[in-house]
Structure formats: structure tokens, C-alpha cells
């Protein structure tokens, strides 16, 4: 069955087209569209630079490693730098954490064909924002696991965290036992004292160090996975009836 040409295909910008694909659940088409756009740009650039490459042909033969570096490593480095300058949580919302957790083996990890190096900065940024939004619960679980591993490697930090939780449990129990709500000034003073004691314990026992290590490792894993993980289709939204 032949489809009629879309009369608006020339006037629709790429941002609006990608937004429609994202809302409809066709994330894999966004990935393919970004890849094809980058490939077209590369082909156009290589065609326009043919004369310059012919003029520097002798220099390339004299130092073949220089051409390999600029043709292969420099674009990859520019893609990674563009990912680092992107806010991966720009499209994240509270609803993403209340959604069902994607399968670890089938969706989150996938197979070898589920990963590829981004063809350009645009595709890398789209992958990061969309994958972080889709696998938010998986990344949150990994952060909890990394934080638990950090506490296991630092027993004093674990003791400090448990001590802080015990202090606040005692405060909650005492508040109900002696009804400190009837004395707001006294309750406020005790709350400030408990906060100061918690901060001192956390600093002395290096709980913040374990937390920073877990944040750094989980952030690196999140960025790498979201960058190389291809976009996969999500649940399709039913078309609107007219």
C-alpha cells in the first residue's frame, strides 16, 4: 500500500519531529534518525574536504598516525565532552521513579547488539536524557548498591550512619513519650541539638566520604551506560481518534 507524501515534511523542524516520536514511544527511530543525520553531515564534510586532503597527501604519508588521530580519536573525544556538558537529569520527573522497573536482563543490560558508540554529539545527548528517564529506577538501585558497598568498605562510616538513625529514632520516641509538641521552644532546641550531633558524627566518621564515592561511581556508570545504550521502543500510545 502506497502512502501519500506528507505535504508538511519539509516545514516540520527536527525538534518537533523528535518530540512527536518521543511522545509516541518510537525512541528507536529517534536513535536511527540522529545516526543518519550525523552520517549525512560526515559525508558532506568529507566531500567538501577532498581537495584539502589531496593537498596534504604527502604530509599524511610522512606521518600516518596524525591522520588516524584526528579522524578517529578527535570525534570520539568531542562526543564524550558533549556528554559531560549535558545535564542527564533535565527530563527526569518524579513519575519516572513511580513507574515499573525495567527488566535488568532484557531491557537494562540487553545483548551485545544493544550498544554502540554514538555517531555524533546530538545522538549522544538524546541517548543520555532518554535512557536516564527510562532507567531511573535501575540507576537508583545501582546507587543504593554502590553506597552499601562503600559502607561495607568503611565500617566506621556504617557505624556513624546507624548511630545517626538511632539518635533520630530516640528523638521520635521521646517526642511521643513526653509530648514535646506542647513545648515548641524546647522541641526546637532539641531538634537543633540533634541536627548538630548528627552533623558531627557524620563528619568525624567519614560518612560523607562514602556518600561521595557512591555518587561518583554511580554517576560514571549512569553516563557510560546511557551513552552507549541504544534507544529501544517503549509502549506505543494509541493514536488519537478524530
Give the pLDDT mean for 21-39: 57
The residue assigned the cell 541539638 is 193
Angle at 73 between CA 29 and CA 127, to 5 degrees: 25
More confident residue, 153 or 11: 153
**What is the rounded CA–CA span in Å between residue 215 and residue 119?**
28
Q: 14-18, 72-76, 114-118, 125-129: lowest mean pLDDT where? A: 14-18
Identify whether the C-beta of residue 186 lies closer than 8 Å to the C-beta of residue 180.
Answer: yes
pLDDT of residue 58: 46
**pLDDT per position as a tens digit, 153-197:** 999 999 999 989 988 898 888 888 888 888 888 889 988 998 998
Residue 83, pLDDT score: 87
CA torsion, ordered 191, 197, 200, 206, to nearest 10 deg: -100
Tell me: pLDDT of 227 over 90.
Answer: yes
- φ, ψ of residue 6 in degrees (nearest 5): -80, 115
Mean pLDDT of the chain: 77
| pLDDT(32) > 80 | no
DSSP secondary-structure letter at 115? B
SS3 content of the chain, % helix, strand, coil (to 5): 75, 0, 25
Amino acid at each position: 500500500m502506497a502512502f501519500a507524501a506528507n505535504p508538511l515534511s519539509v516545514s516540520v523542524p527536527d525538534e518537533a519531529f523528535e518530540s512527536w516520536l518521543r511522545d509516541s514511544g518510537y525512541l528507536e527511530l529517534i536513535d536511527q534518525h540522529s545516526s543518519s543525520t550525523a552520517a549525512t553531515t560526515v559525508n558532506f564534510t568529507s566531500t567538501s574536504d577532498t581537495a584539502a586532503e589531496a593537498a596534504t597527501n604527502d604530509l599524511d604519508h610522512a606521518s600516518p598516525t596524525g591522520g588516524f588521530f584526528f579522524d578517529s580519536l578527535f570525534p570520539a573525544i568531542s562526543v564524550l565532552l558533549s556528554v559531560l556538558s549535558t545535564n542527564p537529569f533535565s527530563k527526569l520527573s518524579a513519575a519516572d521513579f513511580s513507574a515499573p522497573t525495567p527488566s535488568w536482563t532484557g531491557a537494562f543490560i540487553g545483548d551485545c547488539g544493544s550498544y554502540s558508540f554514538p555517531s555524533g554529539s546530538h545522538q549522544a545527548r538524546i541517548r543520555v536524557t532518554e535512557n536516564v528517564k527510562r532507567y531511573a529506577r535501575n540507576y537508583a538501585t545501582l546507587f543504593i548498591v554502590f553506597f552499601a558497598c562503600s559502607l561495607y568498605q568503611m565500617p566506621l562510616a556504617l557505624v556513624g550512619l546507624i548511630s545517626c538513625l538511632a539518635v533520630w529514632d530516640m528523638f521520635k520516641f521521646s517526642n511521643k513519650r513526653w509530648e514535646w509538641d506542647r513545648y515548641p521552644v524546647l522541641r526546637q532546641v532539641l531538634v537543633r541539638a540533634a541536627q548538630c550531633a548528627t552533623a558531627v558524627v557524620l563528619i568525624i566518621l567519614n560518612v560523607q566520604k562514602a556518600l561521595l564515592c557512591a555518587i561518583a561511581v554511580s554517576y560514571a556508570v549512569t553516563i557510560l551506560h546511557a551513552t552507549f545504550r541504544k534507544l529501544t521502543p517503549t509502549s506505543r500510545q494509541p493514536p488519537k481518534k478524530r
